[in-house]
C-alpha cells in the first residue's frame, strides 16, 4: 500500500473542516437519503459521505457499511480530496496503490470505488461522496454526472447545517444578551428587538415595534440620528454612536450604538449598550477637574 497523499493546503483544509463542527455529529436523515440515492443510481451496495481529518476518514452517512470510521492510511477518499473531479478505481486488486490495502484484502473487500470531492465555497475539499462495490465496475457518464450533483448537495447540506447552528447560537445571544440587539429599517422603525430593550427602557416589545424610534430619541439628538440613518442608507457603518433614548418613566438613558446596513434587504442590524452611568461618571470627573483647576488658578498667592 502506497503512502497517502497530502493536499498542499492541508492545514487550512483541516481548519475549515473543523469549523463546520460536523465531525462526530449524530445521524442525519438528509445525508442518509443522499447515500441511499447514490447507491441505487450507481447500482452498488455501499455509499458513503466520508470526511477526512488528520488521522481518519469519518462517515457522516453510510449505506451498506456498519462502521463509522477507518484510518486515513486506508482511505480511498484521501486520494479523492486531491482533485476537484471524480476519482475512480475499476478494480482495486490491480491498482498498486490499493491492492495491499486491508479494505481490499479483507472486509468489505473493495474492488470498485468512485468518489467526488466535497468542495466548499472556499475551495477546501472536506471529504467525498463515494460509491463502492465488491466487484469490478465502471460508472456510466450519466451515473458520474448524477454522483457529482449529489456531492454538491452534500456540500450544501454541510454548509447549511453550520449556518443553522450559528443561527441557533445567535438566537440564544439575542434572547439572553444584556446588550441591546435589534433589526430595524431605514424608516426608523424596529423590526425585531431583544428582551434587553424592555429590561433597559421599560417599554413592551409590542409598543417598541409599532412606534417610530424617533418618538424615543431626545429632541436634541434627532437631527444627528437622521444623519446617521442617511449614512447607513449609503452603505456606511455606524460605530460608537451616542444617543439618548427615553424610558417608560420619562427619563433618558445614553446608549452607545454600533450598526451595520444590509443594502439588499434595507435592514439595519445593530447592538447597543447603556453607558449612562459611565457618562455620569465622566461628567462628574470633568466637573471635579474643573473645580480643581479654578481652585489652583485662584489660589496662587496662597500657595
Q: What is the pLDDT of residues 105-125, one digit of tens each?
A: 999 999 999 999 999 999 999
For residue 82, the tally of other CB atoms under 10 A from its CB is 14
Please name the residue that has the C-alpha cell 420619562: 250
Percent of all residues in the chain with a pLDDT value above 90, rounded to a whole number: 82
Q: Do 10-172 and 177-297 come out as alike in CATH topology?
A: yes
Whole-angstrom Cα distance, residue 63 to residue 133?
12
SS3 label, residue 50? strand
| Local confidence band at 303 (pLDDT 50, 70, 90 cut-offs) | very low
Reported as a single tens digit per residue, the pLDDT across 163-174 is: 998 888 888 888
| pLDDT of 295 over the 50 cut | no
CATH class of 10-172: alpha beta
- For residue 70, give the nearest of 108, 29, 20, 111 by alpha carbon: 108
| pLDDT of 288 over the 90 cut | no
* CA 165 to chain CA mean position, Å: 7
The sheet with strand 238-246 has its strands ordered as 190-193, 180-185, 267-274, 252-262, 238-246
Residue boundaries of the structural domains of the chain: 10-172, 177-297
Question: 167: which strand partners?
Answer: none
| Average pLDDT, integer, range 283-289 | 53
* CATH fold of the domain at 177-297: Beta-Lactamase (3.30.450)
| Local confidence band at 153 (pLDDT 50, 70, 90 cut-offs) | very high
| pTM of the model as a whole | 0.70
| pLDDT of 296 over the 80 cut | no
| pLDDT of 271 over the 70 cut | yes
CB 72 within 8 A of CB 17: no
Reported as a single tens digit per residue, the pLDDT across 209-253 is: 999 999 999 999 999 999 999 999 999 998 999 999 999 999 999
CB 159 within 8 A of CB 121: yes
For residue 203, the tally of other CB atoms under 10 A from its CB is 18
Whole-angstrom Cα distance, residue 109 to residue 102?
8
From first CA to last CA, the distance across the chain in angstroms is 92
The residues near 142 (Cβ < 8 Å, ≥ 6 apart) are none
| Average pLDDT, integer, range 58-64 | 98
Whole-angstrom Cα distance, residue 126 to residue 168?
23
- For residue 170, give the nearest of 161, 159, 181 by alpha carbon: 181
Amino acid at each position: 500500500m502506497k503512502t497517502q497523499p497530502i493536499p498542499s493546503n492541508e492545514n487550512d483544509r483541516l481548519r475549515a473542516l473543523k469549523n463546520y463542527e460536523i465531525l462526530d455529529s449524530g445521524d442525519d436523515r438528509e445525508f442518509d437519503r443522499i447515500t441511499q440515492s447514490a447507491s441505487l443510481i450507481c447500482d452498488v451496495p455501499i455509499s458513503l459521505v466520508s470526511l477526512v481529518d488528520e488521522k481518519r476518514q469519518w462517515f457522516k452517512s453510510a449505506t451498506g457499511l456498519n462502521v463509522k470510521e477507518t484510518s486515513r492510511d486506508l482511505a480511498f477518499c484521501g486520494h479523492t480530496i486531491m482533485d476537484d473531479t471524480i476519482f475512480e478505481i475499476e478494480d482495486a486488486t490491480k491498482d498498486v496503490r490499493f491492492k495491499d490495502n486491508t479494505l481490499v484484502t479483507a472486509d468489505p473487500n473493495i474492488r470498485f470505488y468512485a468518489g467526488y470531492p466535497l468542495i466548499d465555497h472556499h475551495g477546501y475539499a472536506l471529504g467525498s461522496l463515494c460509491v463502492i462495490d465488491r466487484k469490478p465496475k465502471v460508472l456510466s457518464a450519466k451515473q458520474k454526472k448524477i454522483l457529482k450533483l449529489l456531492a454538491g448537495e452534500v456540500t450544501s447540506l454541510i454548509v447549511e447545517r453550520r449556518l443553522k447552528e450559528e443561527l441557533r447560537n445567535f438566537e440564544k445571544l439575542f434572547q439572553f444578551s444584556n446588550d441591546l440587539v435589534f433589526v430595524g429599517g431605514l424608516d426608523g422603525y424596529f423590526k425585531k428587538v431583544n428582551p434587553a430593550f424592555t429590561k433597559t427602557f421599560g417599554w413592551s416589545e409590542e409598543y417598541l415595534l409599532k412606534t417610530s424610534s424617533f418618538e424615543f430619541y431626545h429632541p436634541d439628538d434627532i437631527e444627528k440620528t437622521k444623519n446617521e440613518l442617511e449614512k447607513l442608507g449609503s452603505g456606511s457603518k455606524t460605530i460608537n454612536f451616542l444617543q439618548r433614548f427615553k424610558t417608560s418613566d420619562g427619563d433618558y438613558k445614553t446608549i452607545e450604538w454600533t450598526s451595520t446596513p444590509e443594502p439588499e434587504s434595507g435592514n439595519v442590524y445593530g447592538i447597543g449598550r447603556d453607558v449612562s452611568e459611565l457618562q455620569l461618571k465622566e461628567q462628574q470627573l470633568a466637573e471635579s477637574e474643573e473645580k480643581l483647576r479654578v481652585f489652583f488658578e485662584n489660589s496662587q498667592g496662597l500657595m
